[in-house]
Amino acid sequence: MLNYAVETQNLGKRFGKFEAVKNLDLAVQQGEIFGFLGANGAGKTTAIRMLCGLLLPSSGKGTVAGFDIYKENEKIKQRIGYMSQKFSLYEDLTPAENIEFYGGVYGLKRGTLLQKRAQLLEELGLREQADMMTRSLPLGFKQRLALSCALLHDPPIIFLDEPTGGVDPEARRNFWDLIYHMAERGKTIFVTTHYMDEAEYCHRVSIMYQGEIIALASPKELKQQHQKASMQEVFIHLVDR
Amino acid sequence: MGETCFFTVAPHFPLSVSLINERNMSSRILPIIRKEFIHIRRDFRTLMIIFIMPVVQLLMFGYAINMEIQNIDLVVLDHSQSPASGELVRAFQGSRFFTVNYFEGGATEVESLFQQRAAKMALLIPHDFAQTLATPLPSALQILIDAGDSNTAQLIQNYANAVLQNYNAERGLVTPIDVRTTIQYNPALKSSYFFVPGLVAMILMMISALLTSITIAREKETGTMEQILVSPVRPQEIIVGKVVPYIFLAFLDGVIVLLVAHFWFKVPIIGNPLLILASSLVYVFVALAFGLLISTRAATQQVAMMAALMGSLLPTIMLSGFIFPISAMPKALQLFTYLIPARYFLPVIRGVMLKGNTLEHIGVSLTVLTVMGLFFLMISAKKFKMTLET
Amino acid sequence: MLAPGCWNFKQQGSSIEDQTTSNQQQRQRKTRSVQTLMQRILYLLQKEFRQVFRDRAMLAIMFAVPVIQTVILGSVMTTDVKNVKLIIYDADQSAASREVCRHFMNNPYFQMVGYAEGPGDIRAALDAWQAQVGLFIKPHFGRELARGLRPEIQLIADGLDGNTAGIALGYAQGILSAYALGAANVSMTSAPVVSETRLWYNLNLESKHYMIPGLIGLLATIVTMFLTSMGLVREKEIGTLEQLMVTPIRRGELMLGKVLPFVVIGFVEINVMLVVAFFVFKLQMAGSYYLFLGASLIYFLTTLGLGIFVSTLADTQQQAMFISWFFMIFLLLMSGFLTPIANMPEAWQNVTYLNPLRYYVNLLREIFLKATPLKFLWNEIIPLAVFGVLIITASALKFHKRVS
């Protein structure tokens, strides 16, 4: 049965001679917050891009929402939300126009779209700034706006690639509250980060090092197993080995 | 050892301070030059500009424009059908410029031949051609030319006139004046003679102004300029260090173009080669000063590139007389050309190369160029200081 | 550990568009997807136009620049020969020789810069770039002419600018023979054959009639190709293209949505340039305006396809600009825009058949000047269409919804 939101076997990607991702084995359950940890260049982004159908893998197998990542990537795209570190918004459009555009691209009905737009602007506290250009918004607002745009079609699986990069601690905190809220509603969340304190919030984490997963368990288990007080120490311990 | 010695004395003797700087100057510039060469070698785009573009342009301008058109499609509507008209048509057939075809239709159908591009010229011989030829009255032919392309039409007209003149001469009828033409410097009217020196001017401008302004803007953009500025290097040293590699490359390119022109396209070099190099140096100085001026104002590579293209390269191509003669431009634009350095340099390099011009001929132009260069340099020096302060 | 019950993602997925559709008929779903398709493209178009009209610099580039370029380049790019600097050495100083000089002075082709003092002065003036053509009337010219002795006149030209020299010499010879025919008082037993030349389509041989239609073709190429590639690459740079790639939007929709605005802009541009051509250069379009629009539409397939193609090669706007520039140079040099193709070496002439701009420039010139009807234009239209379809297909294939 299709009980895994994300499942991969021996998934790999090489760019020329460089192996960015090696033998990735994952099974992420529905409703889980799955953390993907690693230093910059460990292969996190490559892995997430393969899962989203942005990159074709070089080897191995994988499914997302039960669809094959090689052949059914267009079907996958209807069922996932994706947000990257860049907060891919149009800076020269207003927040309202950004929402309208992405909603339109996801095929939302006009009525639903307008309703959703009003609701989101309200929720994000952007009603006053609705006519400002997105470029002049503070980073934290941009981040939440980008997330909202990526989730307009209410996808069951959400990929977040370094969603909190460059955002201040308080905004990060709020953002994680949002992630929890979504997980409670049954969404699967696949998140990469290099902030180890964020790893503590995940249900399960995998630690990636030079393209390979070197540890995969819940933060609690990992800390016990390596007898460390924090994920930070676990990470340093594992990577320095 | 010497440095420590100077250092202890220095606070009391300003002269020694300057000695230290002087001594270090070359050793500080060298790393910048070396770094610049590494950038150039690794940057595909710069390499393209430096090595591929000149070759492409040389081929284009060396070959593409010939003043001679051959095999012009000529249709003859011979309504006379006489031995005399046959003889006239043979005169056209004998010319290497025309490919002659007879056309049986009427004069009204010529237009559709032009539209089908089956003919460029039509020769209409009237039915009474042979009869009038025997009288003292001039016999008139009608020539129709597709003048869509005015230049080609002009040439066709000249060729046709030449054929008729020969025909008349063979019948013992010569014009009352004997016109002798002599063409100086480029008797075969080869386009390569005209374009190659111009190309050198363009390449020197492109590399000196475009590349230097881009490279300085790039350092600003990536923040490495700031890094260099906080080091003990002086601004002048940075400029010299950044500019020297491009002067070297510009000259290398210029010399390559000249060699190819000389040995491949057989363009002669009549004047003194040293004078060519020396005057090129003056021109490169102007171009570099202009490039500096751009880079002091442009914050990003993109702006620098646009400014260099719009401010130097396009005017050099369009308004300097490189391709299009200045004398045929509207008056206002003609005046504008006086602001363009290449306008002065083109007669210099063309003159020295092909007319054997000496310093006496080109002195004025070189002076104007020098003044222009100094002017650009002055403004950019002022600007450069300001950008350092802000 | 597992969430209660195994979710069927496939079923849940279809709830995206509308919760109710999953239970409805296949046929309805089809119409719905057509609607979605139209809707997605419309949203893309809306966004694109919003961005274009918000960006003042972009608007300026799109509309002011082509006007300025048409005006300036239109007046600069001319192969007309006018105001050729002429120096005369009249060693005869007779009534006849002065008459010859007068013929040269009252003439738009030549600009008299002065009289030389001796034969050496002509060469010196040519050396110093003071004159381009010298006219040397030998002593006793008038007397010999009156006696029918066929006096000699020398024309000395600076041949460096071959085009100007060749044409100026042609003019000079024309002027001299016109004078000679008028002055000849010798009675002849038979007269020479003279020609009456009619220059069709361009009575005064002004190159603007030829250059400006070509210029419109060139500028239309630049605008559509550059803007398309820059527009796509900009989205790549800021990451929104990646964001669009993870949406269910189809490749075709994405391409169409990005390209259609530039088709519209391209059409506006060529019309703006047309207006400049009419009012500034007093050109007239002899042929069919609709034929002109049709040909342009076909040609835009090529330029937009090239724009997309460039965007797949470039990661930054700067690279896109550079690569487009490179394509542009090939298109320009091999189009016959500046130099007649008939003048090129044989091998080069063959290469020009691979150049879509060659066909478009030809079409524009034929339509503008000669009112050539459609039936004589298939030789251009068919290759142009073939190239357009090939290029746009190739670039569509190269344009993946994946990052490379």
Task: Please tell me the distance from the alpha carbon of residue B87 to that of residue A234, in angstroms, as a whole number.
Answer: 104
Query: B329 vs C198: CB contact, 8 Å cut-off?
Result: no
Across residues A17-42, what is the average pLDDT? Answer: 88
Residue C169, amino acid: L
Q: Do C50 and A97 touch (CB under 8 A)?
A: yes
Q: Distance, in angstroms, between B293 CA and closest chain C CA? A: 21
Amino acid at the residue B150 = S
Contact A121, A63 (CB under 8 A): no
Average pLDDT over residues B223-252: 76
- The pTM for the full model equals 0.79
Q: B182 in contact with C at a CB cutoff of 8 Å?
A: yes
Interface of C with A in 310-349 (CB under 8 A): none
Q: Contacts of residue C29 in chain A, CB cutoff 8 Å?
A: none
Residues of C in contact with B135 (CB under 8 A): 190-191
pLDDT band (50, 70, 90) for residue B5: very low
Q: Do C369 and B190 touch (CB under 8 A)?
A: no
CB C57 within 8 A of CB C184: no
Most confident residue range from B133-142, B347-356, C14-23, C317-326 = B347-356
User: What is the pLDDT, as a whole number, of residue C115?
Assistant: 92
| Residue range B170-195: mean pLDDT, rounded | 79
pLDDT for residue C12 is more than 80? no
pLDDT at B138 over 80: no
Q: Give the confidence band of C404 by pLDDT, cuts at 50, 70, 90.
A: low
CB A134 within 8 A of CB A93: yes
Instruction: Answer whether residue B14 shows pLDDT above 90.
Output: no
Query: Does residue B81 belong to the interface with chain C, where contact is any CB pair within 8 Å?
Result: no
- Which pLDDT score, from 0 to 100, does residue B131 have? 85
Q: Flag if C163 and B67 touch (Cβ within 8 Å).
A: yes
Distance from CA of A160 to the nearest CA of C (A): 12
pLDDT (mean) for A216-232: 87
Please identify among residues 18-37 of chain A the ones whose CB lies closer than 8 Å to any CB of chain C: 29-31
In this structure, the strands spanning B72-78 and B98-102 are: parallel
Contact C199 B327 (CB under 8 A): no
Residues C83 and C225: beta-carbon distance below 8 Å: no
pLDDT one-digit tens code per residue, B312-369 = 878 888 888 888 888 888 888 889 999 999 999 999 999 998 888 888 889 999 999 9
Nearest CA in chain C to B130: C193
Compute the distance between CA of residue B69 and CA of residue C340 in angstroms, rounded to an integer. 9
> Which of B56, B92, B154 would best serve as a mutation to test chain C binding (most C beta carbons within 10 A)?
B154
Q: Decide if A65 contacts A156 (C-beta within 8 A).
A: yes
Q: Rounding to the nearest 10 degrees, give the CA dihedral for residues A25, A28, A29, A30.
A: -140
Half-sphere exposure of C62 (CA within 13 A, CB side): 25
pLDDT tens digits, C354-384: 999 999 999 999 999 888 899 999 999 999 9
Rounded distance between C-alpha atoms, residue C162 and residue C165, angstroms: 5
Element (H, E) at A48: helix A44-51
Decide if C6 and A2 are in contact by the 8 Å CB cutoff: yes
Put simply, the answer to whether B176 touches C150 (Cβ < 8 Å) is yes
Compute the distance between CA of residue C244 and CA of residue B284 in angstroms, rounded to an integer: 48
Any CB–CB contact under 8 A between C57 and chain B?
A: no
A217 touches chain C (CB under 8 A): no
Q: Which of C17, C240, C247 minimises the CB distance to A90?
A: C240
Residue C40, classed as helix, strand or coil, is helix
Average of per-residue pLDDT across C18-40: 60
Q: Do A78 and C18 touch (CB under 8 A)?
A: no
Residues C365 and C375: their CA atoms lie apart, in Å, by: 16
**Which chains are adjacent to chain A, needing at least 3 Cβ pairs under 8 Å?**
C
How distant, in Å, are the alpha carbons of A191, B322, C54, C247 from that of A161? Answer: 6, 55, 30, 16
C399 within 8 A of C249, measured Cβ to Cβ: no
Cβ-Cβ contacts under 8 Å, C247 against chain A: 77, 102, 105-106
Distance CA C51, CA C392 (A): 24
User: Which chain C residue shows the shortest CA-CA distance from A183?
Assistant: C3
Cβ-nearest to B180 among C73, C152, C165:
C152
Q: How far apart are CA A21 and CA A94, in angstroms?
A: 38
Residue C191: DSSP 8-state: P
Quick count: other Cβ atoms within 10 Å of Cβ C162?
23
> Over 70: is that where the pLDDT of C7 sits?
no
Measured between CB atoms, does A38 come within 8 Å of chain C? no
Q: How many Å apart are CA A234 and CA A197, to the nearest integer?
A: 11
Does the CA dihedral C121-C122-C126-C130 come out positive or negative? positive
Per-residue pLDDT for C235 more than 90?
no
Q: Nearest CA to CA, how far is C192 from chain B (Å)?
A: 6
A159 contacts on C by Cβ (under 8 Å): 246
Phi, psi of C398 (to 5 degrees): -75, -25
pLDDT at C109 over 60: yes
Higher pLDDT, B214 or C34: B214
Cβ of A3 within 8 Å of Cβ of C51? The answer is no
Which SS3 state, helix, strand or coil, does residue B33 take? helix
3-state secondary structure of C154: strand
Interface check C56 vs A, CB under 8 A: no
Q: How confident is the model at residue B389 (pLDDT cuts 50, 70, 90)?
A: very low
User: Which pLDDT score, from 0 to 100, does residue B313 have?
Assistant: 79
Which spans in C55-161 are helix H?
56-59, 65-76, 95-105, 119-127, 141-146
Tell me how far apart the alpha carbons of residues C47 and A134 are, in angstroms, rounded to a whole number: 14
Phi and psi torsions of A209, nearest 5°: -145, 120
pLDDT bin (cut points 50, 70, 90) of residue C33 is low
- Tell me the CA end-to-end span of chain A in Å, nearest whole number: 38
Query: How close C2 comes to chain A (CA, Å)?
Result: 7
Kindly list the partner chains of chain B, i.e. chains with 3 or more CB atom pairs below 8 Å: C
- Residues across chain B: 390
Residue B321 distance to chain C (closest CA, Å): 10
> C47 at the A interface (CB within 8 A)?
yes
- Choose the most confident range, by mean pLDDT, from B203-217, C289-303, C340-354: C289-303
- What is the residue type of C238? I
Eight-class DSSP state of C370: I
3+ Cβ–Cβ pairs closer than 8 Å linking A and C? yes
- Contacting A residues, span 81-120, partner chain C, CB-CB under 8 Å: 82-84, 86-93, 97, 100-110
- Residue C117 in contact with partner chain B when CB distance is under 8 A: no
C-beta atoms of B327 and C83 within 8 A: yes
CA distance B111 to C32: 55
Contact A101 C245 (CB under 8 A): no
Tell me the per-residue pLDDT of A143-185, one tens digit each, with 9 for 90 and over: 888 888 888 888 999 999 888 877 888 888 888 888 888 899 8
Percent of chain C with pLDDT over 90: 23
CA distance A206 to A35: 6
**ipTM of the predicted assembly exceeds 0.90:** no
Q: Are strands C193-200 and C152-158 parallel, antiparallel or unpaired?
A: unpaired
Model pLDDT, residue A195: 83
Asked if C403 lies within 8 A of A55 by C-beta distance, the reply is: yes
Instruction: Search chain B and give the residue with CA nearest C61.
Output: B306
Is C99 touching B (CB cutoff 8 A)?
Answer: no
Instruction: Determine what percent of chain A falls in helix, strand and coil, rounding each to the nearest 5.
Output: 40, 25, 35
Is A104's CB within 8 Å of C50's CB? no
Residue C80 has pLDDT above 50, yes or no: yes
Q: Mean pLDDT for chain C?
A: 82
| CB pairs B-C closer than 8 Å | 298
Test the C interface: residue of A50, A90, A113, A157 with most C CBs within 10 Å: A90
Name the residue among A218, A224, A194 with its Cα closest to residue A34.
Answer: A218
pLDDT digits (tens, 9 = 90+) for B278-293: 999 899 889 988 888 8
Residue type, C216: I
Q: Which of A39-43, B229-233, B255-259 shows the lowest mean pLDDT across its residues?
A: B229-233
From chain A, pick out residues whose CB is under 8 angstroms from the CB of C22: none
The arrangement of strands across the sheet holding A204-209 comes to: A80-83, A157-161, A188-193, A33-38, A204-209, A212-217
Rounded Cα gap, residues B324 and B314, in angstroms: 13
Helices B83-94 and B150-170 cross at an angle (nearest 10°) of: 130
C window 272-291, beta carbon within 8 A of B: none
Residues B144, B110: Cα–Cα separation, whole Å: 9
From the list C123, C181, C340, which residue is nearest B152 (CB)?
C340
Task: Give per-residue pLDDT as tens, B101-115.
Answer: 998 888 888 888 888
Q: Which of C176, C339, C348 shows the shortest C-beta gap to B177? A: C176
> What DSSP designation does A132 have?
S
Q: Identify whether the C-beta of residue B35 lies closer than 8 Å to the C-beta of residue B63.
A: no
Q: Which pair of structure tokens corresponds to residue C227?
A: 């803007």
The answer on pLDDT for B302 being more than 80 is: no
Burial of residue C214 (CB within 10 Å: 0-12, 13-18, 19+) is buried
Query: What is the DSSP-derived secondary structure letter of residue C2?
Result: P
Kindly state whether A175 is in contact with chain C, defined as any CB-CB distance less than 8 angstroms: no
Question: Which amino acid appears at position C237 of this protein?
Answer: E
Write phi, then psi, for C180 (nearest 5 degrees).
-60, -40
Residue B10: band (very low, low, confident or very high) from pLDDT cuts 50, 70, 90? very low
Residue of B63, B134, B178 lying closest to C344 (CB–CB): B63
Q: What token pair was written down for B211?
A: 């590349």
Tokens of B308: 């260099």
Give the residue from B111, B322, A120 showing the smallest Cα distance to C338.
B322
Distance from CA of C228 to the nearest CA of A (A): 17
Integer Cα distance of C280 and C282 in angstroms: 6
Is any Cβ of chain B less than 8 angstroms from the Cβ of C152? yes
Distance CA B189, CA B208 (A): 31
B318 interface with C at CB cutoff 8 Å? yes
DSSP string, C93-118: -SHHHHHHHHHHHS-TTEEEEEE-SS
Per-residue CA distances from B241 to B24, B212, B233, B236 (Å): 13, 11, 10, 8
From the CB of residue B288, how many other CB atoms can be counted at a distance below 10 Å? 27
Closest CA to B153 of C201, C302, C354, A125: C201
Tokens at C104, concatenated: 């040269």
**Residue B191 pLDDT level (bands cut at 50, 70, 90):** confident
Instruction: Enter the tokens of residue C337.
Output: 């825009």
Please, are residues C191 and B135 in contact by the beta-carbon 8 Å criterion? yes
- Can you read off the two tokens belonging to residue C245? 């790639």
C292 close contact with B: CB closer than 8 A: no
| Total residues belonging to chain A | 241
Q: Which residues pair with C89 in a beta bridge?
A: C136
Quickly state the pLDDT bin for C88 (edges 50, 70, 90): very high
